[in-house]
Amino acid sequence: MKIECTIDNKHILLNVNSNKPLNLILLEDLEINQIYSRCRDGNCGNCVVLLNDEAVLSCLIPAFRLKGVRILTFEGYQKSRFWHDLERAYSDTGSHPCPHCYASKTLIFESLLQMIIKSELGPSQDEEPDEEVIVQEIGLNTCACLDAHEIIAIFNSAATYRRRRRVRRY
């Protein structure tokens, strides 16, 4: 099956089996090494990517769902200007995800921060996430290296940096 999509801001034409999961496409076909999971059942949550700015488990996304989507891996995210907001938030709070889930949780935080941007752009159905939603979304990755208070502190710190960045743009 031929699929056109955008991965890390590069237009790509894939020729893969329609049921091949995204994590294996990234690992085997595109040699992106930031994906740590090969579980294929979503148990660990270490294979998170952003699919049209939403955090998803790449092991659960079959190739046929990739037509025309934007995918951002951690490798691509590190090249963006937004990555620094989360790095500063980790530093400010003194809390960091462990090395096994760092990439995954960072992308989940970014997905949540994208909700803020969408909610501030005008009237829409997207609202800024509350604390319960934040903790629930971070739970997409099952690693327990951060507690709820640390998660909220990291998010709030990163959201402050993101809002400052948006103010400077106008």
53: domain CATH number is 3.10.20.30
pLDDT per residue as tens digits for the range 24-77: 899 888 888 766 665 667 788 889 999 999 999 999 999 999 999 999 999 999
Q: Do 153 and 134 share a domain, yes or no? A: yes
* pLDDT for residue 41: 73
| Residue 117: inside a domain | yes
Q: Residue 143 is part of a domain; what is its CATH number?
A: 1.10.150
Q: How far apart are CA 21 and CA 131, in angstroms?
A: 31
Q: Do 54 and 93 share a domain, yes or no? A: no
CB neighbour list of residue 104: distance below 8 Å, 6 or more residues apart: 36, 45, 46, 47, 48, 74, 97, 140, 141, 143
Q: Do 65 and 104 share a domain, yes or no? A: no
The count of structural domains within the chain is 2
Containing structural domain, residue 94 = 83-169
Q: Do 99 and 159 share a domain, yes or no? A: yes
| Residue 101: inside a domain | yes
pTM of the model: 0.90
Q: Do 13 and 58 share a domain, yes or no? A: yes
* pLDDT for residue 40: 62
The domain boundary residue, chosen from 49, 73, 97: 73
pLDDT per residue as tens digits for the range 100-129: 899 999 999 999 999 887 766 555 445 678
Q: What are phi and psi of 55, to 5 degrees?
A: -70, 125
